[in-house]
Amino acid sequence: MNNTVNITSEIGKLNTVIIHTPGQEVENMTPANAEKALYSDILNLPISKKEHSFFEGVLSKVAKTYQLKDLLVDVLNNESVRKELVESLYVGGEFKKILPELYKMDSKILGGKIIEGLEIVNDSLTNFLKSQRYRIQPLHNFFFMRDASVSIGNDVLISKMAGLVRRPETSIMKVIFENHPAFNTNTINIPSEINSKQTLIEGGDVHIAREDILLIGMGARTNSQGIDSLVDYYKNINEEKHFVIQELPLTPESFIHLDMVFTLLDKDKCMVYEPVMFNSSELKTIHIHVKDGKIKSISERKNIIAALEELNMHLTPVICGGADEWNQEREQWHSGANFFSFAPGKVLGYARNVNTVEQMNNAGFDIITAADVVSGKDHPDKHNKCFVTVEGSELARGGGGARCMTMPVNRENVNW
């Protein structure tokens, strides 16, 4: 299996992917800290794990899957990497007290604690009276693998996360891609600031439409400075790129990333949330053309589909939720536009969004269940185009869908 990083599209046949099954870190959350953890509600772990097992089961039938925690444990066996990681994750006098303990901890145990949290030991009155429970905070959102890093071509962009609670995820992905023998890649590490302004860019906003085209959402989690930093990177290495920037609403939280309102399904089809993508006059779509080490042009376009049309990429939209605005809003809220393509015209998404399922069927996608694929009763290879439905009633409450839960590493190039 080829583990060289190679992602030149959102739809090429998937060869290798990283996922993370929700674990104790999801359970280590209360209603009081859910908002700080970027959740609107707390999840039921046993149901989440069961739903995710079918999601993983389908991916395992079509590609090589790596579990994030296994990769983390592997790199923690290297003492210098362990030191680099734990010291990059946490700062401050209180944390320094436990560094010797972390340096000596078994790699498997440490890997678990980095993700699930390390509780404060009540060995003093001061510790007993602390309102917080953890010395190392749980990474509640890490099963949404997409956001902390992005495979672009043969490189991996290390994200700049908007939420403090999520920033340790980027340090973990950085040491994995820079040190794990399973992968062969270069990491793109853009500056934390540009012109004294913080750079923000997250993987849910970065879509590789084609080898020469990046679609990037600009909203609550990705800002203009983050996008400018990535543009500067491609200017500096003198690589031609088209950037199509889509402005997103800052609220509600279901619009946090581009992949919550737009995902690619096939060479000629995409899933869209119509009110944001087509019906808003306030949200800009901007095309930036980088060539010969400089910005050749920067101008507005009508929408993403119109911008891609000019670049000889012709897409027919499938409407999330169907024609009814009420259904559109309800189903987008539960990641109805968030699809993961594992081959051209073969996708994963949530079964709960019944009107979106119907729209996919009308667009020529056979509807098959993850349970049937996992059991061997059915397989995507038996279908020209298919939508594999995953039961995601609990997973969706975490605020993400199938694309969010995957970090693709290698895909076959698409014959356009």
Q: Domain-by-domain residue ranges, the chain?
A: 14-75+138-411, 76-136
**What's residue 93's pLDDT?**
54
**What's residue 98's pLDDT?**
79
**What's residue 26's pLDDT?**
81
**What's residue 38's pLDDT?**
44
Cβ contact 157:66 at 8 Å: no
**What's residue 31's pLDDT?**
54
Where the chain has pLDDT below 50, the residues are: 1, 34-39
**What's residue 254's pLDDT?**
82
Residues 6+ apart with CB under 8 A from 256: 204, 219, 220, 221, 248, 399
pLDDT digits (tens, 9 = 90+) for 266-299: 999 999 999 999 977 789 999 999 999 999 999 9
Other beta carbons within 10 Å of 165: 16
- In DSSP terms, 366 is beta-bridged to 386
Cβ contact 399:256 at 8 Å: yes
pTM above 0.75, yes or no: yes
**What's residue 162's pLDDT?**
93
**What's residue 33's pLDDT?**
52
Please report, as a single letter, which amino acid is at residue 241: K
* CA separation for the pair 49, 47 (Å, rounded): 5
> Which CATH architecture does the domain made up of 14-75+138-411 adopt?
5-stranded Propeller (3.75)
Q: Is the dihedral of CA 22, 23, 24, 27 positive or negative?
A: positive
**What's residue 1's pLDDT?**
46
Residues 6+ apart with CB under 8 A from 100: none
* CA separation for the pair 144, 43 (Å, rounded): 14
